[in-house]
Amino acid sequence: MNYFFVAHFASNNALVEVEPINVLPSPLKPDFSKPNPTIGIKEIEWSPKGDYMAVRNDALPTAVFIFSFRSGSSSSQSAHLDSAHTQSTVPLRPRLSSVLHFSTSVRCLQWHPTQTQLVLVCATSAVYSWLPVRPGLTPSSLDASQSGDYCEGIGVPAGIPFNATSIQWNPSGDIMLISDKATFCLAFPVSEDAENT
């Protein structure tokens, strides 16, 4: 399992630091003097293939827990999953894959509609992205002591004060709407060839 601490230091919307950590954040205690205190799970989102789940908890507003539902022997079981009888007897074996801990509260998270990529925002001028495998690596290239989980922060080059509070993918996953209280911007992938021109 990986713990990542993500700190946003940039005033110029560019520098975001992500580093591995070995501790969990301290949970907040609910204020029971107020009516309807916020406690428990705030949000649960499945990845498009159903092999990962992202969870937000009100007691830990700066953390996102990512659970993996992948079987260690998925290739040997995949041939048998066509049978309804076998499918009902294959146990789910969730494991905590990553904990993302941010310096501010997570405001919104969403899975890419066609890929296993989680994006989220924390009312900063950055969008954060989590992938189960670092780009450029394959699960088979990792040895047993390594984990491929990867998290990065991407500054939003809005040119104005912009604190992203909401994100939404279009259905095909090639454009992402990022918004704050007053404005929005669209993000889309740029090929390496286009970046070099």
**For the chain, how many structural domains are there in total?**
1
* Full domain range(s) for residue 62: 2-24+39-70+90-195
CATH number at 95 reads: 2.130.10.10
pTM score of the predicted model: 0.73
Q: Is residue 186 part of a domain?
A: yes
Please give the mean pLDDT across all residues of the chain: 76
- Residue 73 has a pLDDT of 44
Q: Is residue 83 part of a domain?
A: no
Length of the chain: 197
Q: Is residue 182 part of a domain?
A: yes
> Closest Cα to residue 166, out of 176, 174, 175?
176
pLDDT band at residue 192 using 50, 70 and 90 as cut-offs? low
Q: Is residue 97 part of a domain?
A: yes
Residue 74 has pLDDT above 50, yes or no: no
Q: Quick: pLDDT tens for 128-176.
A: 999 988 776 665 655 544 557 888 888 888 788 899 999 999 999 999 9
